[in-house]
Amino acid sequence: MNLEVSLFPALKGILNFTGGIKMSDSIALVGMMGCGKSLIGRKVAKILDLEYIDMDEEFEKVHGAIEKYFKVHGEKRFREIESSLLQKFAEKNGIVLSTGGGIIESSVNRKIMNGFKTFYLEEDPELLWSRISLSNRPLVREGKDAFMSRFVSRKPFYEAYERICGTNLTPDQIAAKIVKLYVNPKDIIEIDSYQRVRIVHNINFDDPDLSIVSKNVKEIWEIKVTGIDDGEALKSIAGAEQLWRIFLQNGLSRKSKVRGVGGGTLTDTTGFAATTYMRGMNLELMPTTLLGMVDASIGGKFAVNFNGIKNLIGTFGRPDVLIDPIYALSLNDERFREGLVESIKIGAVFDGEFFEYIEKNINKILERNLSFLDEIVSIAVKDKLEIVSKDPEDKNLRHILNFGHTIGHAIEGSSKNEISHGRAVGIGMIIESEKFSPQVHERIESIMGQLGFKYDKFGDLERWISMDKKKEESRIIIPVVERIGYSQLKTIEMKNFSDR
């Protein structure tokens, strides 16, 4: 089977996957020099699997450096050639085009630009000048006053297009916002097994009685609700008390519906608070991190940390889950790769074909290609729900999902949570496979290395493992991977966890 394009048999007929994202027109990016058109354009093109074209680069292939051309031939001639290039590229389909800053000064060009889905990358001009002031660009040599004058004259033309304000946003977040505005609404898959999970692009959902939204998500996506801090401090009894007070202040009852929107910390704590408030209320989760999509929001386990021990106090529930993988595109590299760790884990312990798919397509996945991301999320959710439906109360089979977590939680604890959960689990998978599953260790270590997660020396892990809730006297039950895609639970003596 060609793993680059084929779906797994379990999803054929239910996953609306066509080998690509349904597009409207080509994309064009406009804005002043220094706003990031080239960097962001490349990211968007990789996500959507489109051809990327940089107009300045195309000009220089034929005519040489723009700085030199300006000196010899002048700006007028440069603009004429620029317009002819724009006309040429407008005839192509499925491209992402980064334009020059002055492309919109011509009314003819602006008319051509209307044939693209055009986005204006808006930035503070003072910030732009600080980025470009030491460059050799022709317009920079005119000085700051001339630059600001150009900005003022161009601004009305820029603002005729969809505005993406880049203030306080990373390039990945800006790229994600462009993709969200560009991709057509689509139902990808709905799974109703233990939990109802709906995976979509750009579908509007009915409003709940109350949304609990992380401040970070609120700021990136400009959601008009009150946001709350969603760091590790939220995942505590104090964090749950904060949510209970919010529920009371809003007059919620058992019949009310709460939606938690954010990463795994927020959805976990919201789930814990909602399942304990008035002995349980209606709950929806909308994870915005890849880890939340493939793991934390799936399976109906909610817990908070207590007395320095992770997930010590918890509950069960069966919330509906709404997933739009586009939100995961906004993550920084560390957070994005955390979600891949959990997906790889599921493949390692349960679904060898899934693991192989990730191995073969890791470069496209790391480029955040949306078609591959949709498939990663869909398969991971399906696999986890299949496991959970057979062991909803987490008494036996479900423990295979703890692969890497015994040592991973110890690494988190010993680092005082300075090492992220996903990185810690990835390193935990490397160590546990070396100690207890040497036959698969090389593949585990290799794929984690491609994520940038490698073994390092840590502190006294045994002390932290001794506080693991899975421990029984001097032994602990962990999953041991017999072969990729198949694992068994085995009882391991604590002494076998000594540093290697």
Domain span at 267: 194-331
CATH number of the domain where residue 110 is located: 3.40.50.300
320 a known binding residue? no
- Let me know whether 345 and 488 are in one domain: yes
CATH number of the domain where residue 246 is located: 3.40.50.1970
Is there a domain that residue 189 lies in?
A: no
- Let me know whether 321 and 358 are in one domain: no
437 a known binding residue? no
Evaluate whether 364 touches 332 at the Cβ level (below 8 Å).
no
**pLDDT score recorded for residue 466:** 58
475 a known binding residue? no
Is there a domain that residue 10 lies in?
A: no
**pLDDT score recorded for residue 269:** 96
Residue 370, CB half-sphere, CA atoms under 13 Å: how many?
32
> What is the pLDDT confidence band of residue 483, given thresholds at 50, 70 and 90?
very high
**pLDDT score recorded for residue 395:** 86
* Residues near 285 by beta carbon (within 8 Å), at least 6 away in sequence: 259, 260, 267, 270, 271, 292, 297, 319, 320, 321, 322
Show which of 125, 147, 181 is a domain's final residue. Answer: 181
**Average pLDDT of the chain to the nearest whole number:** 89
79 a known binding residue? yes
42 a known binding residue? no
Averaged pLDDT, 10-21: 38
Is there a domain that residue 1 lies in?
A: no
Place of tokens 């399976």: 299
**pLDDT score recorded for residue 467:** 57
Q: What token pair was written down for 41?
A: 């354009």
Q: What is the pLDDT of residues 181-192, one digit of tens each?
A: 999 999 999 999
User: What percentage of the chain exceeds 70 in pLDDT?
Assistant: 90
Length of the chain: 500
Is there a domain that residue 187 lies in?
A: no
196 a known binding residue? no
38 a known binding residue? yes
- Let me know whether 427 and 481 are in one domain: yes
Averaged pLDDT, 134-156: 88
> What is the pLDDT confidence band of residue 3, given thresholds at 50, 70 and 90?
very low
- Let me know whether 437 and 498 are in one domain: yes
- Report the domain count for the chain: 3
- Let me know whether 437 and 405 are in one domain: yes
Count the Cβ atoms, other than its own, within 10 Å of residue 198: 18
Is there a domain that residue 5 lies in?
A: no
- Let me know whether 488 and 342 are in one domain: yes
Is there a domain that residue 367 lies in?
A: yes
Q: Is 360 a residue whose pLDDT tops 60?
A: yes
Show which of 316, 331, 346 is a domain's final residue. Answer: 331
Show which of 181, 210, 242 is a domain's final residue. Answer: 181
92 a known binding residue? no
CA separation for the pair 107, 112 (Å, rounded): 9
Q: Is the pTM of this model over 0.85?
A: yes
56 a known binding residue? yes
**pLDDT score recorded for residue 22:** 40
In the beta sheet, which residues pair with residue 493?
475
